[in-house]
Amino acid sequence: MTDTPTLYEWAGGSAAFVRLTEAFYAKVAGDDLLAPLFAGMDPDHPRYVATWLAEVFGGPADYTASRGGYPHMVAEHIGVAITEPQRRRWVNLIQDAADEAGLPDDPEFRAAFLGYIEWGTRLALRNSQPGAEVVRQAPVPHWGWGVAPPYLG
């Protein structure tokens, strides 16, 4: 399979990640556990997160170009003190938002998508703790299919 699409392409490009983050942050706004974390959120925050996710999943490096890449993203989480229940709720709501936004529901895509979500939220949880030793300089991760390429048949 030499023409395997990126996760970004498979998802439907930038528009898919915008739909995802709009659906997700609409859920966050009404969630008793997560709403306090995002109370002072920039109105453009969903768009920024969509740009981040698009880059992570193989789209254009627009987050790096416009927001400063990984160093900026990690800095946003330092000292926030995310709890495990908040992390888990974030994971659950983003999966619900993926359904609502019409992201592909094939097992291969969802396994890769959730793999990144688990990795990213666990890293954010760790980096957000008071006194955490945080790696502040790193490239934006580029997430791929892992061991299961998309079934195209």
Q: Is residue 138 one of the residues assigned to a domain? A: no
Cβ 109 vs Cβ 4: under 8 Å: no
Q: Is residue 11 one of the residues assigned to a domain? A: yes
Q: Is residue 136 one of the residues assigned to a domain? A: no
Q: Is residue 30 one of the residues assigned to a domain? A: yes
How many domains is the chain partitioned into structurally? 1
State the pLDDT at residue 82.
97
Q: Is residue 151 one of the residues assigned to a domain? A: no
CA distances from 77 to 7, 21, 64, 128 (A): 25, 18, 17, 5
Range of the domain at 42: 7-128
Alpha helices in 5-151 (DSSP H): 7-11, 14-29, 45-56, 62-67, 69-77, 84-100, 107-128
Q: Is residue 34 one of the residues assigned to a domain? A: yes
State the pLDDT at residue 2.
62
State the pLDDT at residue 147.
56
State the pLDDT at residue 41.
87
Residue 97's domain is classified under what CATH number? 1.10.490.10
Tens place of pLDDT per residue across the chain (153 aa):
468 999 999 999 999 999 999 999 999 999 999 999 999 889 999 999 999 999 999 999 999 999 999 999 999 999 999 999 999 999 999 999 999 999 999 999 999 999 999 999 999 999 999 999 999 999 999 999 985 445 555
